[in-house]
Amino acid sequence: MLTSLLHRDLVRSLRSIHTSLPSLWQSFENERHYEPGEDYVNRTWHGLTYDFRRWRRRYQEARRDAFKRRNPIAHMKHATIDNELFPFRAEILIIGGGLTGSSTAYWLKERFRDEDLKVVVVENNDKFTQSSTMLSTGGISQQFSIPEHIEMSLFTAEFLRHAGEHLRILDNAPPDINLLPNGFLYLARSEHEAEELKKNWRTQLDKGACVALLSKDELKARFPFMDFEDVVQGTLGLENEGTFDTWQLLSAIREKNITLGVQVHFYGCISLKLGIGPTDKRC
């Protein structure tokens, strides 16, 4: 009786210990591999038993996952070749792993929870030192002239405010993208620019944006430290505008994508083949 109780307590304690996937991959990468001509018998045995060892590794990963542990056997053979090897096929290939590419992959896998839907992201710069994501200021505003841009910006602002909930991974702490609310000020220096500014302001209000139209006197009263001598009119964002940390957001989306099954590979795209038949082109 005492032995069974100890065994039950040990099983419960082991379930509470979460072994990260990188540790499992480290064991896989440190596995003994045989080069051609090195050991024929062990090399042949290693190749024949590779599938079984991969299924066992996937079974162990599924038992450590809060969702997959309900039926770990169903997740043992979810794909013939997955992120263990470079993919030979992909339903969707995204070239560029910055905010645009990573966000596209996130929404595809978020809305279509299908393991057979292979989404692969290729990025040739793992540090993103020259990407537009790292070189941008990380600002968000709804003061546009095109209605679709306003709607997309409103949707983005809602997502950024709750990014910690959307991008949280299981029981981990929610990521912090350092969102700093701060309205943007747009100024018109001529009557023609003022008319365009007012027209855009009406469009923004129709789409649900919270933007204030300020006259020259109102601008002076609100911002007494600024010089508005050559300014006719201005608009100021009151809600859903500000700045955020692009690197923190990108890191959170990339980590979330891995849990959703997105494959990320840091290789350069040399060429792209378009079309079928004699009209093929390379760009």
What pLDDT is stored for residue 14 in this prediction?
45
More confident position, 45 or 239: 239
What is the four-CA torsion angle of 113, 115, 117, 118, rounded to 10 degrees? 130
Mean of pLDDT values over 192-214 = 94
* Averaged pLDDT of the chain: 80
- The model's pTM: 0.65
In the chain, where the domains are located: 69-138+245-270, 140-243
User: Which segment of 26-30, 210-214, 246-250, 258-262 scores lowest on mean pLDDT?
Assistant: 26-30
Supply the DSSP string of 69-136, one letter for each residue.
GGSGGGGTTS-SS-TTS--S--SEEEE--SHHHHHHHHHHHHH---TTS-EEEE-S-TT-TTSHHHHS
- Are the C-beta atoms of 188 and 232 separated by less than 8 Å? yes
pLDDT given at position 203: 95
Q: Tokens in use for 176? A: 């912090």
Per-residue pLDDT band for 226 (boundaries 50, 70, 90) equals very high
- Whether the per-residue pLDDT at 70 is higher than 60: the answer is yes
Share of the chain above pLDDT 70, in %: 76
Q: Quick one: which H or E segment has residue 43?
A: helix 40-48
pLDDT tops 70 at residue 82? no
More confident residue, 10 or 139: 139
Q: CA 211, 215, 221, 225 torsion: positive or negative?
A: positive
Residues, the chain: 283
Each as own residue / partner, the long-range contacts of residues 259-262 (CB below 8 Å, 24 or more positions apart, any chain) are 259/169, 259/170, 260/106, 260/109, 260/110, 260/113, 261/109, 261/115, 261/119, 262/105, 262/106, 262/109, 262/119, 262/120, 262/121
Letter string b/e over residues 223-261, b meaning 16 or more CB atoms within 10 A of that residue's CB: eeeeebeebbbbbbbeebbbebbbebbbbbbbebbeebb
Question: Tell me, what's the pLDDT at 81?
Answer: 44
* E strand or H helix that includes residue 186: strand 185-188
Max mean pLDDT range (48-62, 131-145, 265-279): 131-145
pLDDT digits (tens, 9 = 90+) for 231-254: 999 999 999 999 999 999 999 999
Comparing 9-23, 177-191, 231-245, which segment has the lowest mean pLDDT? 9-23
pLDDT at 153: 94
Pick the CATH number of 69-138+245-270 from 3.65.10.10, 3.30.360.10, 3.40.50.720, 3.50.50.60: 3.50.50.60
Q: Please state the rounded mean pLDDT for residues 138-155.
A: 93
